Amino acid sequence: MLAAACGSGGSSSGKPARPTVDAQAVKAGPPVGWSDGGYKPDTSKMRCSKPAADPTRGITDTQITVGGLAYLTSPNGSTMAGAELGAKARFDRANAEGGINGRKINYVGTLDDGQDPARSGQQAKVLVDQKHVFAAVPLMTSFANYLDTFCAETVPYFGWGFNAGYCNTSIGFGITGCLLPDGTVATTTYGLLIKSLFGGNSTGKTVALVGVDNDTARGGNRDIAEQVRIVGIKVVYNENSVPIAGITDTTAVVNKVMTSNGGQPPDLVLYVADFNSVVKLTGALKAAGFKGKNLNVIGYDPRLAAIGFPGLQDSYTLMQWEPGVDNAVPAVRQMADDFKKYAPSAVLSLPAMAGYWSADMFVTAATKAGRDLNVNSLLKMLNSNYSYSVPGAVAETRWPLSHFATTPCGSISQLVGKQYNIITKLSCGSLVK
């Protein structure tokens, strides 16, 4: 997931490298209205576009049945646990407010695929054949084996779009769009956000990318490298040197990183790996004398702040929506209130927030579709120039464009002592052809 959350594709896909732009010309923009860079996808090639044979599956006069699919457990301990509670909190508030156009949401829970591709396919069949869901919410899996069933039965799904099923399909809707584009389009997101860590001036800056050793992560690293290069930052190390099961001996990686910049360390290290590996590498680099910035995509969790977690002190975390600590944003404050009321045992972790916003995306769309809601009417509306955003909290997705491209937006927070400081509020770059 961590690699997929960074995208994939890039110049190593065989396509010509995109030109470097003037670093000073890349500016942060608002979470809505970002530039598509002139990119126009071929929507005729979208998969899973046939009408549903049973368009009212999961709908009665009084309720809509939905259920989720995620890896709530996994062999390496990294999970999406909490996503199911986030979805529950949002669905419970919707029901308390009268449901969706008079229909209550019958949330049958989120099934666990254990990060097993075969089980992912099996659980998808359970959702359709046994639970009879109208839609899958939230869907947050590492593998897209669910597609065999969801395509055949035309099941819409909403979630964090970090697997291939969110790309080039007419039924998958990621709160951050398609995070595994095919290489025909890139974004300025990572370059823009890394630039912000250096006061807006990236001139002469260098970055090391440390990723997990699998094909998805290699694609993610390639795309990040291109995003960084687009704004003129030099990537001096780009290796997928972290085993899938996690790193044990950090010596080789640390030695290479510390000498990657012409015998010197880089200005910033970006880790795209599991939590334990990131903590080990961050600590090992610090022990080796690294004075630069550490940036990761997993380090935001209120439980870490509560104990002043020493392993990630002063580290930065890149997120794809506004951090949950920003109570100045009304929508974020509403989310926190919903958790307290409807899921008091949950914390505003990354998976929990992703589950909540996935549910919000579904509730918003289904409500707009009206009382005559069915699968076909919902998908027709969503794929006809529909957009979704939450002011100050979730950046705009546009459909069908977002079936093919990542939303070029993010935020950065930093763990300092027992609190997260928001370094860069949710902002957007642009797509780049």
Q: What's the pLDDT tens digit per position in 48-68? A: 999 999 999 999 999 999 999
pLDDT given at position 26: 54
Go through the chain and tell me how many residues it has: 433
Higher pLDDT, 232 or 386: 386
pLDDT given at position 4: 42
Dump pLDDT digits (tens) for 115-172.
999 999 999 999 999 999 999 999 999 999 999 999 999 999 999 999 999 999 999 9
| Chain centroid, CA 331 distance in Å | 19
- 419 and 305 Cβ atoms separated by less than 8 Å: yes
Given a cut of 50, whether residue 323 has pLDDT beyond it is: yes
Helix, strand, or coil (residue 114): coil
Given a cut of 70, whether residue 363 has pLDDT beyond it is: yes
- 224 and 272 Cβ atoms separated by less than 8 Å: yes
The pTM of this model reads: 0.92
pLDDT given at position 17: 53
Q: Which two tokens stand for residue 268?
A: 């910033």
Given a cut of 70, whether residue 14 has pLDDT beyond it is: no
- Nearest-CA neighbor of 138 among 176, 99, 169? 176
Q: What is the CA radius of gyration of the chain?
A: 21
